[in-house]
């Protein structure tokens, strides 16, 4: 492990640090803008409305997607369980980008959520679906430490709700022969992550569903992309135990994902350091060594005791 991965991670760290520095400098100078699209091709292909789940937190990836979609002229339906925060995000977006925004406070773990959401989007054309929501306990219990009810709640929100949203709005897009679907999975869906096993399993489901959908919808006019970010600065100090050079800002992830839709797939691994880390774990290391390596990485980041070797 040390011989293979350290040079790769060191090179990735340098690339990530350089990329992050350039991004922060340009953003601070107001020079990071939406890509030039003189014919409004993005809006024409994926508009006029985009539906983004998990969009209430100001620091979250969902809100980054919402900002960049609004910057490209799309109206927004924002869905989250946190109603007050969601309303605040909607007001900010309307004021800054002069687009229409519909905040929908909704628990996606409810069995009947889809009917309520479809009622809120009746009469508008949702040309873009970004499934970004996710729920996992903050104390990150292991598979056996987590009670069964929590396992089921995670599956309802992170698997069943994804399937329901993609099925309902994806069928509308297929009927129109136009649209785009972005499934926000994770690097944890590409490589098992001990100590967050249920989260990793949920993300693997999202990735597998998206890959199949990407293939099945080729030629339909509907573009599909699974994006698999790594660690992101969306959880306050929740990632304080991890190497901070591996923690990405959400804005570059959102921009790279939107730019890749219709041009890449089925899976996008955004960010140089994330690409290097995933390549090490999934391509260079034997499976057992990869699981052990990530297990140690997760244990260190979550301040957990390593299991005794057998």
- CA neighbor of 250 nearest in space, from 113, 68, 76, 90: 68
- Kindly state the average pLDDT of the residues 278-303: 80
pLDDT beyond 50 at 283: yes
By DSSP bridging, strand 267-268 and strand 126-131 are unpaired
Which is more confident, 291 or 116? 116
- Domain boundaries defined on the chain: 43-301
* 43-301 under CATH 2.60.40.1480, yes or no: no
> C-alpha distances in angstroms, 269 versus 26, 184, 234, 247, 309?
23, 11, 18, 14, 32
Give the pLDDT confidence score for residue 309 in this predicted structure.
67
Give the pLDDT confidence score for residue 2 in this predicted structure.
32
pLDDT tens digits, one per residue of 229-276: 987 767 766 666 667 766 778 999 999 999 999 999 899 999 888 888
> Rounded to two decimals, what is the model's pTM?
0.83
Binned at pLDDT 50, 70 and 90, residue 308 comes out as low
Give the pLDDT confidence score for residue 238 in this predicted structure.
62
- The angle that helices 2-28 and 250-260 make with each other, rounded to 10 degrees, is 90
Mean pLDDT value across the chain: 85
Give the pLDDT confidence score for residue 254 in this predicted structure.
96
Q: For 102-115, give one letter per residue: b (16+ CB within 10 A) or e.
A: ebbebebbeeebbe
- Output the six-digit token pair for 63: 């809100």
**Within 10 A of 45 (CB to CB), how many other CB atoms are there?**
16
- Kindly state the average pLDDT of the residues 34-48: 83
pLDDT beyond 50 at 116: yes
CA angle, corner 171, sides to 168 and 175, nearest 5? 145
């Amino acid at each position: 492990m040390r011989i293979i991965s350290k040079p790769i991670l060191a090179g990735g760290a340098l690339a990530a640090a350089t990329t992050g520095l350039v991004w922060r400098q340009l953003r601070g100078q107001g020079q990071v803008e939406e890509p030039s699209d003189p014919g409004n091709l993005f809006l024409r292909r994926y508009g006029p409305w985009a539906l983004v789940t998990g969009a209430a937190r100001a620091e979250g990836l969902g809100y980054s997607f919402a900002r960049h979609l609004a910057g490209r002229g799309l109206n927004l339906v924002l869905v989250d369980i946190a109603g007050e925060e969601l309303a605040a995000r909607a007001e900010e977006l309307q004021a800054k980008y002069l687009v229409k925004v519909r905040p929908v406070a909704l628990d996606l773990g409810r069995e009947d959520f889809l009917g309520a959401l479809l009622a809120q989007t009746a009469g508008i054309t949702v040309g873009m679906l970004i499934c970004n929501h996710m729920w996992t306990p903050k104390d990150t219990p292991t598979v056996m430490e987590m009670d069964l009810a929590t396992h089921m709640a995670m599956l309802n929100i992170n698997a069943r709700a994804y399937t329901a949203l993609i099925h309902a709005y994806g069928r509308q897009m297929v009927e129109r022969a136009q649209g785009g679907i972005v499934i926000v999975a994770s690097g944890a869906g590409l490589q098992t992550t001990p100590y967050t096993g249920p989260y990793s399993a949920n993300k693997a489901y999202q990735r597998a569903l998206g890959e199949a959908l990407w293939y099945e919808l080729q030629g339909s006019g509907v573009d599909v992309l699974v994006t698999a970010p790594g660690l992101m600065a969306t959880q306050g100090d929740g990632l304080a135990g991890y190497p901070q050079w591996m923690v990405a800002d959400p804005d570059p992830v959102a921009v790279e994902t939107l730019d890749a839709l219709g041009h890449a797939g089925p899976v996008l691994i955004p960010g140089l350091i994330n690409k290097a880390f995933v390549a090490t774990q999934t391509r260079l290391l034997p499976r057992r060594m990869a699981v052990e390596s990530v297990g140690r990485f997760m244990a260190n980041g979550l301040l957990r005791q390593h299991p005794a070797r057998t």
